[in-house]
Structure 1
Amino acid sequence: MAHPEELTTLDLHSVWTTADELTTAFDPFRFEQRMAAYRLMIQNTNPADGFGADNRHNPLWGLMFQHQWQFRTGRLGADTPRDGRIDPDSPWGYGNYTLSVVPWLGAVAAGVVPDLPVADPPGRSRFRYVTGGVVPEELVAGVADWRDYFTLVGGSGSADPEPARLALWKAHKTCLDVVVDALAEVDTTPWPDQEMAFLRGWCRMVDYLWAAAWPTDFVFMTAHGLDVLPETLLSTPEDVRALPDKARGNVGTVIRLATTPKWRYDVNLFLWKRIMRTREARAQVLPLLDAVFNPKPENAAQRRKLIGYLLRP
């Protein structure tokens, strides 16, 4: 199993090396099974070393890191850290379902992974899942977009990572829009209001990352994505104030996004998408995103760049 050597220093390494192989079925209500699915999808999309000999440039790493964070912080259900079972009523767990099972089904359709039975949820749930092998209609478009992604990368030896990132984020966005709609329709009790505000804001933040085709490979994630999210559930505003400085700032930004009126959010996202039209702008996403959400004298030059990219014909 080729993987970056740096993986051995991360908690992700344990599940990477111990998760059971998926051979006869895929139970997506077990944490280790979702991680095994990610592992197989990562391994099977680098046949010509297009993502590097050790697969470090594979954009699927971001999904695996995100799921590990959800597990580590108790966002998949109260019992998950103890027995690995994912609560089908967990809002974070449902969100990840659309970004693990739906990609898996797209990979099946592209011939990248084996066509295994996907287990039904263990009981009634407020969310809709694949049941009896039938994909809910709202997830069908996501399966198609992920099929296109895996068709693109399945035999690719391209040294240019951007086409894969663009295809991945298109599929990611299709799935996340379903999550946003579901969260607006279901009762999310007993999850704390503060945590749900963070999740809804995170969905909006991911729209910004989608527009920028944010890098999600191993190198970028380990450099920029390991200390930016809260390591505890957020029950009260005091929980936010108790976070380390970097995470507290990011969480504050995300929660403000959740409370932004939809019309204003839509306008701001439209402007950001216009700024991110070019590869040149997307290559500077880190400082430009900081200039959008944290304007200060030190990033005045980046804010001028934002205006320049916005006004380009």
Structure 2
Amino acid sequence: MMALLSSWACILIVCFSLSLGEAANLSDLYPPLWEESPGQFSEYRVENGKYIINPWIYPERMGMYKILLTQTARYFEKFGPENENNILWGLPLQHGWQYKSGRLADPSQRTDCGYESGDRLCISVDSWWADMNYFLCAVPFLAAVDSGIMGISSDQVTLLPPPKDEMKFCVNVSACQSSISTAMRKWNIFYKHLQSPFSSFEDLLKYLWDAHTQSLHDVSERFDHRLEYYSKPEADFERTWFVDVKYIGALRLPTTLIRIHELQKGLPPRMLVKGDRIPFISDFSQRQNIFLFVLNLVGDVNNWTGSLSLTIWNYFMKTQNAREKTLEFIETILEKFNSTSPK
């Protein structure tokens, strides 16, 4: 059991400890339509003294991330230049991949929401990815407003609800504090430590991942029924992704700009469809096939052990030294893997 756990755990970290590389221009790594998205509150509509944001339009939701990254940049200056080491980059980059890969479109195909032939910038409320992502956008954004980081008061911004299932989504600070209170509290704890001059990078990663995983945990059951819209390979991938995030969170993967940009090169560039057999999907790169294979392996081991593997993983990842040594070990393996890979 321990040998198996050790093997797949190492493979998991290989996938999530990709080489950082060097970017000639950090702006080349930004998510799709980053430059076109709002970068300040004044770019949104104002009604009765409130900023009105429609998170069901891709640029408007991405703009929420852009403002968040801008307003928190000063707290990450001590960790590196150009805001590259802002660990909130993982959120907009993930959303950008969802958009680019077609995962924000209407999976039921009853509308043209999100499709190239229809309303490409529309985010469908029937999309499992879009719904889960909502709580990794609205909650950290509104918690930042509540913490005072955003420079406006808690009652100065509201989000528009989706065209259906409105009660499943909170649209302002007070509503989120009522309906998803634990996650909001953990995001507030993260921002409290972010504003402290004594918090280390490792401290911030801990509180970020605590808030991130809690946000998904609190709402996952609300959207299980969305999975019926997808092919079996895609639905299985969604379930596996939800499980794997728990392992990544325990590792406290640094969600910086360059690292996450490199990581996402292994993610599937399109929706999985009937007939896709991992790791033999012909129009996916070797890296993407291997990445999906490992994600499935982690999910399978988690299911086989009844989450015992996650308990063991959490135990071994408790200390900073263990996490650092594990990353160092895997990065050594990765370097050898890269040096032997065909060009």
- Which TM-score band (shorter chain)? 0.7 to 0.9
CA 1:162 to 1:71, structure 2 compared with 1: closer, same or farther past 3 Å? same
CA offsets 1:206-245 (integer angstroms, 9 cap, x no match): 10111111110113223x4131110010112426422211
Task: Name 1:277's counterpart in structure 2.
Answer: 318
- Aligned pair partner of 2:274 in 217, 236, 246: 236
Letter in 1 for 2:243: R
Aligned to 2:142: 105
Q: Which residue identity lines up with residue 211 of structure 1 in the other structure?
A: A
Q: State yes or no: 1:195 paired with 2:234.
A: yes
The structure-2 alpha-carbon separation of the partners of 1:122 and 1:187, relative to structure 1 and needing over 3 Å to count, comes to closer
2:168 maps to what in 1? 128
Equivalent in the alignment of 1:6: 25
Tell me how far 1:70 sits from its aligned partner: 0.2
Say how many residue pairs are matched: 286
**Cα distance change, pair 141–92 in 1 and its aligned pair in 2 (3 A):** same
Q: What's the Cα RMSD here?
A: 2.9
TM-score by length of 1: 0.81
The equivalent residue for 1:41 is 68
Which of these residues, 95, 119, 123, is aligned with residue 132 of structure 2? Answer: 95
For 1:149 and 1:5, how far apart are their aligned partners in 2?
31
CA deviation profile, 1:2-24 (whole Å, cap 9, x unmatched): xx863332362x52221123332
Number of the residue aligned with 2:11 = none
Conserved? CA contact 1:195–1:233, under 8 Å: yes
Give yes or no for contact 1:57–1:217 (8 Å, CA) kept in 2.
Answer: yes
* 1:155-213 superposed Cα distances (whole Å, 9 cap, x missing partner): 345583111110100000111112433344x2533222211110110111110111111
Structure with the larger RCO, 1 or 2 (CA within 8 Å, 6+ apart): 2
Distance 1:74 1:286, change over 3 A: farther
Partner in structure 1 of residue 88 of structure 2: 60
Check 1:64–1:265 CA distance in 2 against 1; reply closer, same or farther (3 A cut): farther
CA distance in 1, matches of 2:300, 2:95: 25
Distance (whole Å) between structure 2 residues aligned to residue 238 and residue 40 of structure 1? 38
Residue pair 2:241, 2:295 contacting (<8 A) in 1 also = yes
The offset of 1:256, in angstroms, is 4.0
* Runs of 5+ unmatched residues, structure 1: 299-313
- Identical counterparts, % of pairs: 23
Residues 1:157 and 1:56: Cα distance change in structure 2 (over 3 Å): farther
Distance 1:198 1:178, change over 3 A: same
